[in-house]
Structure 1
């Protein structure tokens, strides 16, 4: 495990990212921010963060799972926490498989995230809200599964799901996971 206090926040909600950044800076972290995969890639060429906080849904149809995969390839010792607006077993398991040490449902604060960094073993079963699973949630989970299976290739995922690529892109844009 790295003792590097450099933290990368990958979050496309600017206000939430700014709040997290200030809070972690007060705790002694040096914080970098990116809101898409291209920015993450550029930051990784110059920096080697020891910690990362990644939103599950990013701008431009990007999945936070692809970001987790990229970060883990860059540094297998990096402690990565995935944040999401709704918790699902499928995405939690996939996030941990791809290299995340923890998966948290929003709203999560700095204390929750820092505690998650301390839990290195990883948890594949997050706390789930006590409600029935809707058809839309099941559809979203299936879309995420197929995206992972197709290595986040939207055209291939759409083919496997039996829908047009633009339809899948619209669904990904509509789904606000925050």
Structure 2
């Protein structure tokens, strides 16, 4: 039986994911604290991990490398409510196998948990061959600069050469959809 560790600080979402994935054949364990996640991973020894990108005040991206070192063969999927290409690239670079935006349906989740790496590489290549819209490129660039400045809005605005309030307004807007997703 596949074992799934859900590292998510939203107790309701974590419980809902556990119920959904138990019906799909996973034995699920839940952890709501970043500092306890490595201990829980060591004790439970999962074959799969669902990791939230934001766990309370901590960044789930910082857990990817230690989890990967502890469990090199685990299938690790990062979940986020704030999806961007910049964070997706960073997550994959750090060792995540997949990256999904919340909310996510069961079928998409199952596909990510059971996907073969070759299929993911092929899908990613097909996805990146199409050009991004200028508005989407702007959003991605802002997100990357924000990540590089550790989330510091004032420093990011200075680097981008824009007023802090202008940057805050741009960040409040949802990412611009691409025609590729249609």
Match of 2:20 in 1: 23
Q: CA deviation at 1:79?
A: 0.5
Aligned CA RMSD, in angstroms, stands at 3.4
TM alignment of 1:82-161, pairs within 5 A? 82-121=78-117, 122=120, 132=135, 140-147=143-150
2 CA distance for matches of 1:137 and 1:101? 21
Match of 1:75 in 2: 71
Per-residue CA distance 1:65-114 (angstroms, 9 max, x = gap): 11222211111111111111132111111111111111111110222111
Instruction: Please state if 1:42 is matched with 2:39.
Output: yes
2 CA distance for matches of 1:65 and 1:53? 12
Rg larger in 1 or in 2?
2
2 CA distance for matches of 1:14 and 1:132? 35
Question: Which structure shows the bigger proportion of residues in helix conformation?
Answer: 2
Per-residue CA distance 1:39-70 (angstroms, 9 max, x = gap): 2022123121110111111112x111112222
Structure 1 runs not aligned, ≥5 long: 148-156, 163-174
Q: Please report the TM-score for the alignment, with normalisation by the length of structure 2.
A: 0.68
Aligned length: 151
Q: CA deviation at 1:22?
A: 0.6
TM superposition outliers: structure 1 runs of 4+ over 6 Å: 134-137
Structure 1 residues 120 and 96, CA gap change in structure 2 (3 angstroms): farther
Match of 1:8 in 2: 5
Instruction: Please state if 1:59 is matched with 2:56.
Output: yes
Contact 2:50 / 2:79 at 8 angstroms: preserved in 1? yes
SS in structure 2 opposite 1:114? helix
Which structure is higher in RCO with an 8 Å CA cutoff and minimum separation 6? 1
Contact 1:5 / 1:49 at 8 angstroms: preserved in 2? yes
